[in-house]
Structure 1
């Protein structure tokens, strides 16, 4: 990944390293995710003890403005978006009424048939046995838009930081992701868009953007029974933007400090309000967000953007969400160490806790690439990186 210095983690020797500085963090984080899901799956992944790892509301903000929905306005793969001064509109009281978006069953069945017919690629010697593949992404742009929650309503959302597909704004539809494919992610066959609420420095009011954003697609269970590829166009949200409770040391859903070697995930100190860690050594702020791994097989979205997916267990998926799919995990790095003043998210500018952290995923891979990775990496439980087997 070509982003600035990423976090370093330790990884079991069986899964040879490449996670920004070391890929070992994956094995432990997978176990952490399973433990978390055994409790109340709110989306935030709680790191356990292991070694490794808006400006003020209404004020003018300098934002990287994404394109409109017209082709002429879409950015090229090489031209950065223009920076302009813009005042973010206040969010409406309620999001627009959205409904269930059905999957194109013919297209889905064709993808399933192709997946079942695909043969597993030969496995090179030395490949690890962590069932996962991934996309490494860089920051793309910042907009007060949300094409999932507030479609066709530019400026209606709190500020979001986008990675992946560069052409995303409030008007983005599934077809746009396949038509305008310039991306900040590797591999480039991942045309998806991923976004989270923007993080701000509480002292300066300036945004703090991600310096590393890895999206894992993995099995978080002890088996891969019945695993199927993710359907093109699936969208979902993890976490709760309306949750505004304190996140003191040890709380669920807090940011943590990632480091290499012994240290304190909760930081060597806390911000004055106690909600944010201050990291020691080479550690920087991180957040992990876990998405569901079961799908109803019928809908690409639901009114609350969550009801069409669910969290499964080692025994399988719920009867009303019978399709097991790779589980997304956002592993997000911010290149800051923490301050006494702390930070705040655009989704909670007053309480200034981390509990409203959430993530959106609008998924659009090349279907053959998705099928290949799901079969090679998840179905047969082998470790893959951005391009295939990791060895």
Structure 2
């Protein structure tokens, strides 16, 4: 599949109807050669309330309903950088965003289909719902410290028994370099969206996921693919997971919500992380670091998507372009460890990307 050869919506609908009658998935049949494997994986990862498959419904940013949203303009002529710049231990900034609301909506997987997903906990943009589009999110109200970040972030809601447990306070969402050449990282294109992880991944798949960092942890219990059996009093349940950081330059979304993105690969003969040739554009790695205020007996703790190893998250970019560009350039490309204002306390002489009000000066 390439940018000039998109699936025909009518054919997709017919295939979907035929698949429904036969009781089989149609994603792989509807995909082109370079997305066939991703589509096959998608078809195998269906989940009640959260099936990542081709949408047959025209909606939002995808008026023909084929699941492909082309970048306009696409980014072409990029060669993955294998350069090794001067080492810097950090090249990141934070987007600190409070929880806004919860809802059984997912504007990426189930666009324009309210109530079709399992329950999600949303952060950032206050208006995110099943009908959200790039236009509806962009410039909207946000709970992130930087007003220019009207992006939408969400994950399956956490429950302790029947009680929903929401993270309190600003959650830490890192924007980092995922490649060794941190100077090659560029801002996300407006409207880029993707899903990290899968609600149907097994414990082994979760632990082996390229975005795995530390798994679930609390107290002295670390690297758990599922919830610890008990968390000490007055501790929190924490999870960290990282997104792919290489983009194909062609699509803002694809039918499986993943194949337009890729994780870096190790260059043979080195320890350097580089983008694969199929996804040559280095973009920030989005790392969720969530903290849930729950302790004690964890036997009744679950996610709306199921067990602990069903954890996954979604990102829908609606940053104000100059604000994101300033933070990426100053903190990621500049090799700094920045807060949400783009200020590195250990390098005060470098200044800040944003003013005291977290806006561009």
* TMscore range, shorter length: 0.5 to 0.7
Q: Could you tell me which residue of structure 2 aligns to residue 316 of structure 1?
A: 274
Question: Contact between 2:156 and 2:304, CA under 8 Å: does it hold in 1?
Answer: yes
Tell whether 2:315 aligns with 1:335: no
Unaligned runs of 5+ in 2: 1-47, 57-65, 79-87, 266-271, 346-361
- 1:297 shift after superposition: 0.7
Contact kept, 8 Å, 2:50 with 2:118, in 1: the verdict is no
Match of 2:158 in 1: 199
Q: Are 1:208 and 2:169 matched, yes or no?
A: no
Between the aligned partners of 1:99 and 1:247, the Cα distance in structure 2 is 26
* Equivalent residue in structure 2 for 1:344, among 269, 292, 302: 302
Distance 1:387-1:144 versus aligned 2 partners, 3 A rule: same
Say whether residues 1:373 and 2:318 are aligned partners: no
Partners in 2 of 1:301 and 1:326 — Cα distance? 16
Within 5 Å, which residues of 2 pair with 1:163-182? 163-179=123-139, 181-182=140-141
The 5 Å alignment of 1:237-386 reads 237-245=195-203, 254-257=215-218, 263-265=220-222, 275-280=227-232, 282-313=234-265, 314-348=272-306, 353-386=307-340
The residue aligned with 2:27 is: none
Q: Could you say which residue in structure 1 is the equivalent of 2:23?
A: none
Q: Secondary structure at the match of 1:211?
A: coil
Deviations 1:241-265 (A, max 9, x none): 12254899999774211x6xxx443
Aligned-pair CA distance for 1:373: 1.1
Q: CA contact under 8 A between 2:155 and 2:313: conserved in structure 1?
A: yes
Q: Is the 8 A contact 1:247 1:254 kept in 2?
A: no
Report how far residue 223 of structure 1 moved. 3.2
Q: Return the alpha-carbon distance in structure 1 between the equivalents of residues 275 and 205 of structure 2.
A: 31
2:186 to 213, 228, 233: 228
Q: Which residue of the other structure, out of 106, 110, 127, is the alignment partner of 1:150?
A: 110
Q: Residues of 2 paired with 1:150 and 1:248: CA distance?
A: 23
Kindly provide the CA deviation profile for residues 252-301 of structure 1, in whole angstroms up to 9, marking residues without a partner as x. Answer: 774211x6xxx44369xx9xxx7434222643101111100100011100
Match of 1:99 among 52, 67, 71: 67
**Contact 2:195–2:314 (CA under 8 A) maintained in structure 1:** yes
Q: Aligned with 1:368: secondary structure?
A: helix
The alignment's C-alpha RMSD in Å is 3.0
Offset of 1:383 from its aligned partner? 1.4
Greater alpha carbon shift after TM alignment, 299-308 vs 216-225: 216-225
Contact 1:189–1:369 (CA under 8 A) maintained in structure 2: yes
SS at match of 2:188: coil
Q: Report the TM-score when normalising by structure 1.
A: 0.63
Q: Which runs of 5+ in 1 are unaligned?
A: 1-89, 113-127
Q: Work out the CA distance in 2 between the residues paired with 1:158 and 1:217.
A: 27
TM-score (norm 2): 0.67
Instruction: Tell me how far apart the structure 1 counterparts of residues 194 and 206 of structure 2 sit (CA, whole Å).
Output: 28
Name the counterpart of 1:161. 121
Q: Give the Cα–Cα distance (whole angstroms) in 1 for the partners of residues 122 and 315 of structure 2.
A: 10
Is residue 162–residue 195 contact of structure 1 (8 Å, CA) maintained in 2?
Answer: yes
- Tell me the number of residue pairs that the alignment of Structure 1 and Structure 2 aligns: 268
| Distance in 2 separating the partners of 1:366 and 1:241 | 30
- Deviation string, structure 1 residues 68-98 (Cα, Å, up to 9, x no partner): xxxxxxxxxxxxxxxxxxxxxx738775344
CA distance in 2, matches of 1:388, 1:150: 34
Q: Which of the two has greater helix per residue? A: 2
Task: Give the distance between the partners of 2:234 and 2:181, measured in 1 at CA.
Answer: 35
